[in-house]
Amino acid sequence: MEKRHIAILGATGSIGTQTLDVVRQHPDLFEVELLTAGSNAALLIEEAREFDPAAVVICNEAKYDEVADALRDTDVKVFTGTQSMCDLVAAEAVDVVVAAMVGFSGLRPTVAALKAGKAIALANKETLVAAGDLVMDLSRKHRAPILPVDSEHSAIFQCLLAAGGNKVSRIHLTASGGPFRTWEKDRIAEADKTLALKHPNWSMGAKITIDSATMMNKGFEVIEACWLFDMAPEDVHVVVHPESVIHSMIEFEDGAVLAQLGCPDMRVPIQFALAFPERLPLKGERLDFASLGSLTFQEPDREKFPCLGLAFEAVRRGGNIPCAMNAANEAAVKAFLEDRIRFYDIPEVIAGTMAETPYITKPSLEDIFATNDAALAAAEKRIARK
Ligand code: NAD
Ligand code: MG
C-alpha cells in the first residue's frame, strides 16, 4: 500500500483519538496532514506536536491564540473557523478525510471534501441522516468513495465484499440495547445523565452515548444503512445483541446469512476504512469463543425506546424530515445533558418537532440548512416549556 495522507475532522474526540492510535501503529503507511477540533485546544496542541500535520484548525475562535502560541516553534499552520476547515480538507495533499465531528456540524466540511473528490472515512452518521440523498449524490458525482466507520456499517460493508454482487434481501443491524436494556420503563423515566452515560460495551463521546441509551443511535444507523447500501427501511431489521460481538449481518435471497464478528474495538473499522481494500495488522484483544460461551438476541422494545420508531417514521417519510428529526434530537440531547429535560422528554420533543416541520420532498442543501435551523428553534421552544 502506498502511504496515505489523512485529514481528521474531530481529532480530539473518541473516534479522532482512536484514528490517531491506528496511525501510531503504522507510521510508514499513514501520514497526518490536517487535524481539527472544536474547543479542546490542549489536546489538539499535544496531537499536533506528536503527528506534525501541515495544518490544524481549532473551530472555537476564542481558543485560536492559545493554539497558535503553543505551536509557534513548529511549522504547523494554525487556523480557526469552519470555512478554513472546508478549504483545508480540499488540499491536494489529502487522500482520505476522516469525518469524526459530532452532529450536524459535520455536514459542511464533509460536503467540501466530497466536492474535492476525497475518500471519506465516515463516522459522522448525522451527515447521512440529515442529508443522505445529497451526500450520496455528491459521492457519485465526484467519485468520492464513502467508507463506513460506524462498526455496524463497516460489518455490512465487509460482508458485502463476500457477496459477489448478489442481491441482499435483508440487513440485520445489531444493537447492544444500551444501559437501560433490562430496566423497567418507570425506572428509565427517572434516569439522569450519569446513568445514561454508562454504556455497557463501548466508550464513546457523550452525544452518541445518550443516543445509544434512547436507541436513537440505532435509528440513525437504520437510515445510514438505507443510504449507504441502497436498502428499503423495511429490509433493515434491528436485533438487540447485548454482547456486541456480531457487528451486523447480511441475508441473501436463499436465506444464507453472513456476519462480521470481533471484540468491540472501533480501531478495527477505522483502520479498515483507512487501509481499504487492504487489511493491516492491529494490536488488540481477540475473541475467545469458549469463554464467551453464548451469544444472545432479542427484539428491541419499541415501547421503552420510542426513538427507534421515530427514526423509521422519518426515513419512510423522507424529504427533509430526517433532517428535522436529527436537529430536534441534537437540541434535546444537549438539554438532557444540561439537566434541563427528562429522559422521555427527548422523544416527545423530537416527535413534536417532526410533526410541525413543513415537508419538502426533495430538499436542496440550502433547504437542509434552513430545516436544521428551524427544527433546532422549534425544539428549543418545546424544551423551554418542559
Ligand atoms: P466526541 O464528542 O468524542 O468527539 C467529537 C469531535 O468533534 C471532537 O474532536 C470535537 O472537538 C469536535 N467537534 C464537536 N463539535 C464541533 C464543532 N461544532 N465544530 C468543529 N468540531 C467539533 O464524539 P465521537 O464519539 O468521537 O463521535 C464522533 C462521530 O462519530 C459522531 O457522529 C458519532 O455518532 C460517530 N460515531 C462514534 C462512535 C464511537 O465509538 N465514538 C462510533 C460510531 C460512530
Ligand atoms: Mg454504531
CA of 8 relative to ligand 2 center, distance in Å: 19
Atom in ligand 1 nearest the alpha carbon of residue 37? 11
Query: For residue 382, which amino acid is it?
Result: R
For ligand 2, the distance from its centroid to the CA atom of residue 241, given in whole angstroms, is 13
pLDDT for the residue 220: 98
Taking 90 as the threshold, does the pLDDT of residue 86 lie above it?
yes
| Spatial CB neighbours of 342, under 8 Å, sequence gap ≥ 6 | 189, 190, 336, 386
d(CA 350, CA 63): 33
Contact 12 CB / ligand 1 (< 6 Å):
yes
Peptide bond into 358 cis (omega under 30): no
**What is the separation of C-alpha 176 from the centre of its chain, rounded to a whole number of angstroms?**
16
Q: Which of 9, 12, 14 to mutate to test the pocket of ligand 1 (most atoms within 8 A of CB)?
A: 14
Cell of 150: 460506524
For ligand 1, the distance from its centroid to the CA atom of residue 16, given in whole angstroms, is 8
Residue 202 has pLDDT above 90, yes or no: no
pLDDT, residue 296, reads 98
What is the spatial distance between Cα 169 and Cα 238, in angstroms, rounded to a whole number? 14
Please report, in angstroms and rounded to a whole number, the separation of the first and last CA atoms in the chain: 55
Q: What's the 102 CA to ligand 1 centre distance in angstroms?
A: 4
Percent of the chain with pLDDT over 90: 98
CA distances to 48, 211, 339, 346 from 188, rounded to whole Å, are: 42, 14, 15, 12
| DSSP code per residue over 257-325 | EEEEE--S-THHHHHHHHHTT------S----HHHH-----B---TTT-HHHHHHHHHHHH-TTHHHHH
The single-letter code of the amino acid at 296 is T
Q: In the structure, what pLDDT confidence band is assigned to residue 200 with cuts at 50, 70 and 90? A: confident
Residue 299 pLDDT greater than 90, yes or no:
yes
Q: Residues of the chain with pLDDT > 70: what percent?
A: 100
Ligand 1 contact via 14 beta carbon (within 6 Å):
yes
Strand, coil or helix: what is 37?
Answer: strand
- What is the number of the ligand 1 atom nearest to the C-alpha of 220? 34
pTM of the model: 0.98
pLDDT for residue 201: 86
Q: Which atom of ligand 1 is nearest to the CA of 18?
A: 26
Express each pLDDT in 319-339 by its tens digit: 999 999 999 999 999 999 999
- Rounded Cα distance between 2 and 195, Å, is 45
Q: What are phi and psi of 58, to 5 degrees?
A: -105, 110
Residue burial 182-219, b: 16+ Cβ < 10 Å; e: rest: eeeeeebeebebeebeebbbbebbbbbbbbbbbbbbbb
Cβ-based neighbour number of residue 172 at 10 Å: 21
* Mean pLDDT across 23-32: 98
Question: What's the Cα-to-Cα distance from 238 to each of 132, 173, 252, 291, 298, rounded to whole Å?
Answer: 20, 5, 16, 26, 9
Count CB atoms within 10 A of the CB of residue 224.
Answer: 25
Q: To which H or E segment does residue 332 belong?
A: helix 321-337
Q: What is the largest CA-CA distance in the chain?
A: 63
Asked if residue 233 lies in contact with residue 316, where contact means CB atoms within 8 angstroms, the answer is yes
What single string gives the DSSP state of each residue in 93-142? Answer: T--EEEE---GGGGHHHHHHHHHTT-EEEE--HHHHHHHHHHHHHHHHHT
**Residue nearest to ligand 1 atom 21, measured at CA:** 38
What would the mean pLDDT of 37-53 be, rounded to a whole number? Answer: 98
pLDDT of amino acid 208:
97
Counting runs of H as helices and runs of E as strands, what totals does the chain give?
A: 17, 11
Å from CA of 205 to ligand 1 middle: 6
